[in-house]
Amino acid sequence: MSWVSIDQDKCNNCGICALRCMRCFSNTDGEITAHADEDCCNLCGHCIALCPTDAITHSQMDMSNFTEVNDQISYDTDEFIQLIRQRRSHRSFKDREIPRNDLEKLVDMCRYTPTGSNLQTVQIKVISNKEKIKKLSDLTIDYFMEMINKIESQVKQLSLEKKEIPKELREMHDFANRYRMLGLARDIGMDPILHQAPAVMLFHSPSSSSTPKDDCVIAAQTVVLTAMTMGLGTCYIGLLNFSANSYAPVKEELNLPSGNKVGSILVLGYPKLKFLLTVDRKPIQVEWEV
């Protein structure tokens, strides 16, 4: 039984569906038939969205969620570039809650971001509980402090034994030194991980998915830009991303479905600071082969 049915009274046999999807449609001498099932159809919905006579119905999709494309809206390229240039990482937030409705809008929008093989496996955890946010920050600092101590004792031991410190360990030592300030910042009442943000969004996905990390990052970046239109500032938090995938106490606190990995993390809130200028960045290294 095909997931897709064609209303023969509406179909004008234009063949657009078969042109777009040879796997689920056949065009035999101008007559179109659909044979979509789990073996060929990845639920992209393109056949329905392209059909000029509204003749296609899909049994596995919510047909009421196919809405008319509004091609009257024009998006100004320079304005859009300006939005991208004005995006900044914010690490200082007003003590103001984000309305649940806005958070729900941001989450719902992630349904429409692209995913590898259209698997749509991205899941989101939204945390706005202050104690929980503080605990995740503390545990992440603990994780980095443990890592630094381990690296330091290895370096110390090798030095005592007058052995050469391998390049990899030396690099890790330099890297770890940069994170020593996390503990110092905590000691003076700062939150150097989640920046006392009113909300944290974790994007996770089963590792077995086609492109789990990419899917999470694409969803996160879409949230970043949309959040700007709501007056919200955001910042990616790679430090929690590290601990969330490798440190048991953080994993336990997050309690994500087993087999899932965190692909991206954002903090969100109303910025305390207002950037007055866009910033300089290195030119992109590009190679044109024309």
**Residue numbers at the binding site for ligand FMN (CB under 6 A):** 88-89, 91, 235-239
Is there a contact between 95 and 271 (Cβ–Cβ < 8 Å)?
Answer: no
Q: CB nearer to ligand FMN: give 26 or 278.
A: 278
Q: CB nearer to ligand FMN: give 45 or 192.
A: 192
Q: Which residue is nearest to ligand FMN (CB)?
A: 238
Shortest separation between residue 194's beta carbon and ligand FMN, angstroms: 9
Q: How is residue 199 written in tokens?
A: 């909300």
Longest dimension (CA), the chain: 86
Is there a contact between 241 and 203 (Cβ–Cβ < 8 Å)?
Answer: no
Q: CB nearer to ligand FMN: give 16 or 264.
A: 264
Q: Among positive and negative, which fits the CA dihedral 212, 218, 224, 227?
A: negative
Shortest separation between residue 275's beta carbon and ligand FMN, angstroms: 8
Nearest to residue 197, comparing CAs of 79, 53, 61, 91?
A: 91
The 3-state DSSP class for residue 105 equals: helix
Shortest separation between residue 91's beta carbon and ligand FMN, angstroms: 5
Q: Among positive and negative, which fits the CA dihedral 82, 226, 261, 190?
A: positive
Q: CB nearer to ligand FMN: give 66 or 242.
A: 242
Q: CB nearer to ligand FMN: give 88 or 105.
A: 88
Shortest separation between residue 49's beta carbon and ligand FMN, angstroms: 32
Shortest separation between residue 89's beta carbon and ligand FMN, angstroms: 3
The 3-state DSSP class for residue 234 equals: strand
Question: Measured between alpha carbons, how far is 44 from 23 in angstroms, rounded to an integer?
Answer: 13
Shortest separation between residue 290's beta carbon and ligand FMN, angstroms: 30
Cα end-to-end distance, the chain, whole Å: 48
Q: What's phi and psi for 57, nearest 5 deg?
A: -125, 140
Q: CB nearer to ligand FMN: give 66 or 179.
A: 179
Instruction: Give one DSSP letter per residue of 27-66, joined into a string.
Output: EETTEEEE---TTT-----HHHHH-TT--EEETTS-GGG-
Shortest separation between residue 235's beta carbon and ligand FMN, angstroms: 5
Q: CB nearer to ligand FMN: give 231 or 238.
A: 238
Nearest to residue 224, comparing CAs of 64, 95, 93, 110?
A: 110
